[in-house]
Amino acid sequence: MPPAISDQFAIPGAVAMTAGVNGFPTCVLTHAGSARATITLHGAHVTAWTDASGYENLYMSRQAVFASDTAIRGGIPVIFPQFGGRGPLAAHGFARTSVWDLVGTDLREDGCVTATFALTDSAATRAIWPYRFRCALTVELTANTLTVALVVSNTDAQPWAFTTALHTYFAVRDIRQTTLEGLQGVTYEDALQQHALTVEAHAALSIAEEVDRVYLHAPDLLHVQDAQAQRTLTIAKREMPDVVVWNPWVEKSQRLRDFGDEDYRSMLCVETGCIRDAVMLAPGEHWRGKTTYISCAR
Ligand code: TA6
């Protein structure tokens, strides 16, 4: 049963709460009557982001399953406390399938619209990850930018470590006419080659097969160049050293239930996070990381 919907944090013209897909409570941010972002409380998951030009920047599978125990295929899944299979938990951890609370909204003087979501430990999380924690995720919307900031706090009396990522699915007009700039010279782990280490040779990375790589300590500025859409999506990250580049291509697309067989053509995951080196937090310590996405026509 989806949680109840409250208007406690509504701001006329800027923040509204609605019943989203399958009744999931969804927060809708609107900037100056044009740019728009939707975030479901299920996973504090950004499910859509259109900029002031009306361009939808995120991929969302038409087969995405909105169910309490399932990760939504598309948008920005929040990965915590474990990336992939790098630990004892189910792949990518429990944050993306947990119900977060909306704990605050704001319409700033500069017009930026924000919403903050929180997830804290529970008997259910402690049963599988025996630590006390608090995560706060803030989404900030302006005319042509979307920022996602994550604060992870150790509220326990013992230290613990985590890995995390914003598993962002970008919409692209045609993957074969899309490149990713900024990774030349960066070492990556290739998940398709038993995590062998390789140095990226290309200034502009093209995708013409399944790609599943973790680029280590990548530059904080990257650009997705969508030639057919004549658009550039800039990714500006802070305190999130690693970058994942993933496209399932043909065969894996056919194996994914919640992903169209041809959808590999219209998406590219470029994910930012702390993946290779886990972050260790002492009691009372916090980790802060953020990524800003900037959409512009070329
Ligand atoms: O981010 C890349 C990756 O780890 C891939 O290996 C692939 O499994 C993808 O995440 C999707 O994972 P999911 O659990 O959402 O199906």
Probe residue for ligand 1, chosen from 69, 167, 270, 272 as the CB with the greatest number of ligand atoms within 8 Å: 167
Kindly give the number of the ligand 1 atom that is closest to the alpha carbon of 165. 1
Are the beta carbons of 238 and 220 closer than 8 angstroms?
Answer: yes
Kindly give the number of the ligand 1 atom that is closest to the alpha carbon of 91. 14
Kindly give the number of the ligand 1 atom that is closest to the alpha carbon of 244. 1
CA of 264 to the centre of ligand 1 (A): 13
pLDDT of residue 160: 98
Give me the residues of the chain with pLDDT under 50, please: none
CA of 211 to the centre of ligand 1 (A): 11
235 closest CA partner among 289, 182, 296, 294 = 294
pLDDT of residue 5: 74
pLDDT of residue 53: 97
Nearest-CA residue for ligand 1 atom 8 is: 84
Active site residues: 167, 271
Task: Give the C-alpha separation, 287 to 285, whole Å.
Answer: 7
pLDDT of residue 6: 81
pLDDT of residue 234: 98
97 phi, psi to nearest 5 deg: -120, 20
Probe residue for ligand 1, chosen from 269, 271, 274, 275 as the CB with the greatest number of ligand atoms within 8 Å: 269
**Element at 294 (helix H, strand E):** strand 286-297
Q: Which amino acid is at 67?
A: A
Per-residue CA distances from 153 to 46, 49, 278, 288 (Å): 21, 27, 14, 9
CA of 203 to the centre of ligand 1 (A): 25
